[in-house]
Amino acid sequence: MSSLPNMQWLRSFEAASRLGSFTAAGAELGLTQAAVSNHVSSLENQLGHQLLERTTRKVDLTASGRAYLPSVRKALQDLAAATNSLFGTRSSGTVTLRAPISEAALIIAPALPALQRRHPGLSIRLLSAIWADTMLETGIDIEIRLGTGSWPGAKSEALGAETILPVCHPDLGKQLRQPEDLLGQPWINILGFDDHWPNFLETAGLKAPDQRRGITVDTSLAAVELAASGGGVALLLGKVARQLATSGRLAIPFNIPLPSARTHHLLHRDSARPARPAVQTVEGWLREIFA
């Protein structure tokens, strides 16, 4: 494949074509008229085709230029859109927040409309993470993580104690009369939380059977979907379980809370500079919804 044209050459070609003038294109791009003209000439030399007709007063597209311009314009627009979508803006009102995928989908996202009503000028970029990184990435203003509270390079603030609760489809919940009934149901296991079922059964005063039956998934969100489809009983964090039970999507058959060694933490970059006001606003809101 031949080498791609220089990005600045493409920008000069697009601007000159749109504005009909090297001078106007230069003013828009912060370049001289001569620089824009040289960029377009270099692009034409690389492609082997004339793209613009030069006259004393304006420039017009040639047939090759008319054919090439839509693709150039779309490529520049797509690149700008992808850059903004992935990396956003560092404006004072934009806050980039990352959270575990289940918390992002089930706790944070449903609460965002209320936050926007309270702070209409606030812009949020919500990113989801399946596995927590050891370091807080550049560009992340705030992060919610589940763990014991020790992550290098970041300040950590516990958002309250957490528990584990069983959840299942509401119809199945009506059939479960006593905790012993859980032993006859498929268990939904979540990778990384293999101790939940044995510890929960012990808390409920039950003995784990020799053989387990059920399905193992790698995220709490998948466990939620499986339980909502009648696939068995899952053990979820209390905040997530109560949110789903309140909505009526899942039921908590037995209110037997298992204390969790892991809890949600609010993280932000370890810096001597105070957080921006917008970041402080979102941090306060997160303390409320995770309380």
Domains and CATH numbers, the chain: 7-85 (1.10.10.10), 94-161+263-289 (3.40.190.10), 163-259 (3.40.190.10)
277 pLDDT more than 60: yes
**Residue in the block written with tokens 């370890």:** 270
2 pLDDT more than 60: no
pLDDT at residue 273 in the model: 62
Q: In 3-state terms, what secondary structure has residue 235?
A: strand
The pTM assigned to this predicted structure is 0.63
- Beta-bridged to residue 100, according to DSSP, are 129
H or E stretch at 242: helix 238-247
Q: Which residue has the higher pLDDT, 271 or 34?
A: 34
Q: In 3-state terms, what secondary structure has residue 110?
A: helix
CA-to-CA distance for 23 and 143, rounded, in angstroms? 47
pLDDT digits (tens, 9 = 90+) for 38-87: 999 999 999 999 999 998 778 999 999 999 999 999 999 888 777 766 66
What would the mean pLDDT of 216-245 be, rounded to a whole number?
Answer: 93
CA-to-CA distance for 23 and 12, rounded, in angstroms? 11
pLDDT at residue 106 in the model: 87
Q: Which residue has the higher pLDDT, 213 or 162?
A: 162
Pairing of strands 233-237, 187-190: parallel
Which of 258, 253, 250 lies closest to 185, judged by CA?
253
163 pLDDT more than 80: yes
Which of 235, 228, 177 lies closest to 203, judged by CA?
235
Which of 208, 211, 239, 240 lies closest to 227, judged by CA?
240
Give buried/exposed letters for 112-135 (b at 16+ CB in 10 A, else e).
eeebeeeeeebebbebbbeebeee
Q: What is the DSSP letter of 236?
A: E
pLDDT digits (tens, 9 = 90+) for 191-216: 888 889 999 999 999 887 766 678 99
